[in-house]
Amino acid sequence: MNIGRKRRAADPTRPADTRCRPEKSAAEGGTGGSWGFFLYRFRRNKLAAVGGGFLLLIVLLGLIGPLFTSYNPTKPDMKSASLAPSFAHWMGTDALGMDIFTRIVYATRTDLLIAVMAVLGAAILGSLYGVISAFYGRVLDEVMMRALDSLQAFPSILLGLAIAAALGPSLRNVIIVLVVVNFPMYARLVRSQILSLKEATFVDAARTVGNNNARIMFRHLLPNSLGPVYVQSSLNVGWSVLMAASMSFLGLGIQAPEPEWGVMISQGARQMVQGEWWSAFFPGLFIFLFVLSASLLGDGLQDVFDPRRR
């Protein structure tokens, strides 16, 4: 899985790439550069495009959704409690009379924020960890990798729950938990990339002209090993939302009445046995759509970066 290296330095080792590359991407209006090529490959993958489109829609809903609703997302209104979906309440109201659609709109903001911050944090921390571990090697590498082994020995949900329980429930802590649980994956990815890259000629060249270690690590090695990190991030976004929602559902994440998809499901859970399906159904549907589109997009990206994979 040394995708990043292939993407940049690919051509000599991978004739298949160069063969399908030139005219077609130009015909599709690509610039012929690596970005145009990327877009060309990506556009061929319809499922990924569907996933990307859906993700955009969800982001859009979070951004401009409040324009379509006049209800307050956190203010109970007992007069209109537990109403089925209707014209006034598109997705019904929950047991406290709060409009489900409104809450979903605001929940989208929360969940997107969590997902982006968590994945960004994990990718950055993991990449730094991986670079340092691989670059210095020897004892440091050994110790850092055994630490990751231990961290990954825990079932990730349980580790997350334990940390969340210790830190206490809050938005910031949900993000911290997700970063801690996810970063080992990125660290391993980047480490394996760097291990093969650091013997390359361009590193020797960089050293010869007088770059110091830090510069070689962060300006030369790291940028060349980020391909798989991008793929992993898009696959990871969906999982992070799933995990954040599970934590909130258990009461260890975002707290009611704050709108968040997992919180909303937990609020609607009791109504489910009484046949009021809507208050838990719709937030879950959004989690499902979000995770599905993120994984379609991620699969598509993976095909782009590593076309041999099926």
The binding site for another protein (CB under 8 A) comprises 146-147, 149-151, 153-159, 161-163, 165-167, 238, 242, 245-246, 249-252, 262, 265, 268-269, 272-275, 277, 280-281, 284, 287-289, 291-292, 295-296, 309-310
Closer by beta carbon to another protein, 46 or else 75: 46
CB of residue 295 vs another protein: minimum separation in angstroms? 6
Burial of 114 (0-12, 13-18, 19+ CB in 10 A): buried
Closer by beta carbon to another protein, 178 or else 265: 265
CB of residue 289 vs another protein: minimum separation in angstroms? 8
CB of residue 161 vs another protein: minimum separation in angstroms? 6
CB of residue 50 vs another protein: minimum separation in angstroms? 11
Closer by beta carbon to another protein, 146 or else 215: 146
CB of residue 269 vs another protein: minimum separation in angstroms? 6
Closer by beta carbon to another protein, 106 or else 290: 290
Closer by beta carbon to another protein, 222 or else 296: 296
Closer by beta carbon to another protein, 200 or else 272: 272
CB of residue 147 vs another protein: minimum separation in angstroms? 6
